[in-house]
Structure 1
Amino acid sequence: MGFPEAATGASTALLTDHYELTMLASALSDGTADRPCVFEVFARRLPDGRRYGVVAGTGRVLDAIADFRFTDAELSQLEATAVVDDATLSWLADYSFSGDVHGYPEGELYFPGSPIMTVTGSFGEAVVLETLILSILNHDSAIASAAARMSGAAHGRPIIEMGGRRTHEYAAVAAARAAYLAGFATTSNLEAGRRYGIPTRGTVAHAFMLLHDSEEQAFRAQVDKMGADTTLLVDTYDITKGIETAVRVAGTELGAIRIDSGDVGPLARKAREQLDALGAKDTRIVVSGDLDEHAIAALRAEPVDAYGVGTSVVTGSGAPTAGMVYKLVEVDGKPVAKRSAHKESRGGRKSALRRHRETGTAVEEVIWTAASPVPERGPNDHELQIPLVRGGRTVDDLPTLDDARQRLRRALVSLPWEGLKLSHGEPAIPTVFV
């Protein structure tokens, strides 16, 4: 489903915004609601210092649009609160999006001005989708953009998404999906596993350790039930003693230990030495505890085998929204544009392609309108938008979540090396409007 609430049987229709229905009612009243329009989703800029953004949430948007209906319950609420008049209620009762949607596929990179999604339809049927579309894309793209930086910093070592206790319960499911898209290996969120087929992993919390009269009893209970390949949490009391006890209980075939506190770099180094000395040379070391991309990068030289990341990924690592907007750019086939200072838009429906050198390195994103000459396409260039919805129906055979993971992996490889730096900088490639 597009929104987790939909899984409970609740409609997503009232996830629209009051002001959208105000515009709809006024447009129905003056006869402009049926005018053919084009809306575009784009970001004027990337979060401060970021060098690229990752498109995520497209699949959830398409599910949400398909489910977007005003049932008797929503209509009754709108009538009781006098949000709209009877004519608008009647129009909403028959609502079903019948237009077209094009956009960047999930897992694609975006930059300032990229036409991430284009919605074509009447003003009425497109304007009521604004909050629905933006709420998904802004959240999921922010999470995926942060997660991609963390995955890059991990340099091939797996990361477990474990932020469900650090965000809204429904946002946690979407965040797990976005993090997996961006390269995380697994999630601890079981609903995300059920809904999206994401592999799930988890260990125990300190409460389990404190439940037992001794650390050894807790370890034995876990190993007896889960087998020696489990991950034992060794930092509840004393890490050195915890590792010694863990190996004594599970044997040298112990799967992994987890360190969740302290200066994890030096602790991981000492843990590796101790495990090797005890004969547990294949026992992995998992670290967690307020990690972000910078902390992960700092641990690259340490003997860490996997990371657990929670708060920083589900909050976008300091950039909890992608800052995308949904703007009207064409009415009756004619470009329209907003001129407000610092919030300007470019009129006309856009298309985009990304240019690459023969080596595969991306050099620029070229964006043009129908009124502009179509740029000559080179052998190493590719257009970025694909059809997503035609005539109100979702296009068949769209890329899957695993396809998006692979797309992002290829896209990141195509960036100039400086575009992958974690330090503040300009977008990895320039956006060129023609």
Structure 2
Amino acid sequence: MNTADLGLPVDVPSTALFTDQYEFTMVQAALKSGTARRRSVFEVFTRRLPDGRRYGVVAGIGRVLDAVENFRFDPGVLAFLREQRIVDEPTLKWLADYRFSGDVWGYPEGEVYFPGSPILRVEGSFAECVLLETVILSILNHDSAIAAAASRMSAAAAGRRLIEMGARRTHELAAVAASRAAYIGGFDSTSDLAAGFRYGIPTVGTSAHAFTLLHDTERGAFQAQVDSLGRGTTLLVDTYDVAEAVRTAVDVTGPELGAVRIDSGDLVLVAHRVRHQLDELGAVNTKIVVTSDLDEYAIASLAAAPVDAYGVGTQLVTGSGHPTCSMVYKLVARARSADPKAPLQAVAKKPLGGKTSVGGRKWAARRLDGDGVAEAEVLGTGAVPDSLADRQLLVQLIKGGESVTREPLEAARRRHFEARAGLPLSATQLSRGEPVIPTEYV
């Protein structure tokens, strides 16, 4: 696997240093105490959803699989750890041979989740599992936050097309991951070519105000764009006077003009005026695209406007006010000794200040009501009730250190639409509220 597939610069040899120092110091101490090889179970979950959110969206699973596969300690990384005296020589020797050999189970990408849902379960020796904590959380917290915002925007758009265009509003590598997560959450295309190249997401783009300002006249700019891209292009009509620009656009292209884009002003009012003007000029099939710092609330407010597509940037790539999901990676069970046959013992931190963890290796299932609509997220550590046996959510992702579940991005996107459709109707309401279904422990 080339590290470029992770959205990393090609000169980054591995993901092994995408971590916190205390992961390494814990491994060193555990190796010395003889506890490093104890079989352990870690789970990723969130104690609560962001304020006002009714459900979460699992995104980043594919990138997690890549990150685990690329978690290697090459000579350069080991030299850095040695020079900085992060760990001692016995630990460096152990790290040199590191290969994750355990098992990983998780919610499939695109699935929805709720407080307590064991989104990812990592099983293996303590040492090999604990090292993965930071990189796994980094990916899942970011990607799931973007996917959740995208899902809300997708629901608000009610079938109208969505364009992700936030690359200039975030870190260049985060932008690629954001495009991927947004596509899972319901966006249709991206302006980011790296995301298109790496993940096969459809890409779009035409021109900015600078292109219009470059030319001596707006007509000249429109003609140049049409000559280059064809009559089906999208012309930006709010550089000067919108009404005059629309007239000029249709005069240059004829009624075959693909679309016009509006990037400022009272979007509801302007969209109605532009639609009326386009129809009067015979451009009845010309689409209207709106941009301008949109979020799910702005999109919902445009529901009655004659808009065909939305372009979203800043609010999407920052999670629409919630740039993280507050997921944690906690040890929930461990063996009493390093003996591979030693039984697992449930463990959990003492509840303090709202930081509650539930010990034990968990299964998860979603209970449906008589109409087939989700009514509860059910978690347990014992036997799975027969009534929930075919509703289990966790699937195996890695077995014995090898990925066993790889799927196209389209599969995660379809899964999300199906999962969201299976929730109560109130799930997509933008008003504040609790999670749309409760989490029950049995």
TM range (shorter): over 0.9
TM-score, normalization: structure 1? 0.97
Q: Secondary structure at the match of 2:289?
A: strand
In structure 2, the residue matched to 1:238 is 241
In structure 1, the residue matched to 2:362 is 350
Contact 1:5–1:12 at 8 Å: present in 2 too? no
Paired residues, number:
430
1:366 aligns with 2:386: no
- Which amino acid in structure 2 is aligned with residue 335 of structure 1? A
What does residue range 6-405 of structure 1 map to in structure 2 within 5 Å? 7-332=10-335, 333-341=344-352, 342-369=354-381, 372-377=382-387, 382-396=391-405, 398-405=406-413
Contact 1:105–1:399 at 8 Å: present in 2 too? no
- 1:230 & 1:423 partners in 2: Cα distance? 37
- 1:122 & 1:9 partners in 2: Cα distance? 27
Moved more, 113-122 or 352-361: 352-361
Q: Secondary structure at the match of 2:276?
A: helix
- Which amino acid in structure 2 is aligned with residue 426 of structure 1? E
Contact 2:13–2:74 at 8 Å: present in 1 too? no
1:419 aligns with 2:427: yes
Shift of 1:375: 2.2
- 1:191 & 1:296 partners in 2: Cα distance? 26
Q: Secondary structure at the match of 1:258?
A: strand
TM-superposition CA deviations, 1:59-96 (whole Å, max 9, x none) = 00001101110111111111111111111111111111
TM-superposition CA deviations, 1:296-348 (whole Å, max 9, x none) = 00000100000000001100000000110000000101000011411121111
Shift of 1:22: 1.1
- Which amino acid in structure 2 is aligned with residue 415 of structure 1? L
TM-score, normalization: structure 2? 0.95
Shift of 1:10: 3.2
TM-superposition CA deviations, 1:33-57 (whole Å, max 9, x none) = 1110000000000001100000000
Moved more, 338-347 or 221-230: 338-347
Shift of 1:5: 1.3
- Which amino acid in structure 2 is aligned with residue 209 of structure 1? T
Contact 1:5–1:11 at 8 Å: present in 2 too? no
Moved more, 410-419 or 320-329: 410-419
TM-superposition CA deviations, 1:178-228 (whole Å, max 9, x none) = 000111000001010011110001121111111111111111110000000
Q: Secondary structure at the match of 2:386?
A: coil
Shift of 1:7: 4.4
In structure 1, the residue matched to 2:437 is 429
Q: Secondary structure at the match of 1:119?
A: strand
Unaligned 5+ runs, structure 2: 336-343
Moved more, 295-304 or 209-218: 209-218
Change (3 A) 1:36 1:317: same
Shift of 1:417: 1.1
- Which amino acid in structure 2 is aligned with residue 402 of structure 1? E
- 1:171 & 1:161 partners in 2: Cα distance? 13
- 2:93 & 2:430 partners in 1: Cα distance? 52
In structure 2, the residue matched to 1:410 is 418
TM-superposition CA deviations, 1:373-425 (whole Å, max 9, x none) = 4323259x5110000000000005x3321111111111111111112111110
- 1:250 & 1:191 partners in 2: Cα distance? 31
Unaligned 5+ runs, structure 1: none
- 1:276 & 1:252 partners in 2: Cα distance? 9
- 1:177 & 1:209 partners in 2: Cα distance? 31
Shift of 1:6: 5.6
In structure 1, the residue matched to 2:339 is none
- 2:50 & 2:170 partners in 1: Cα distance? 20
RMSD: 1.2
Identity across matched positions, percent: 60
Q: Secondary structure at the match of 2:348?
A: coil
TM-superposition CA deviations, 1:142-196 (whole Å, max 9, x none) = 0000000000000000000000000000000000000001110000010100111
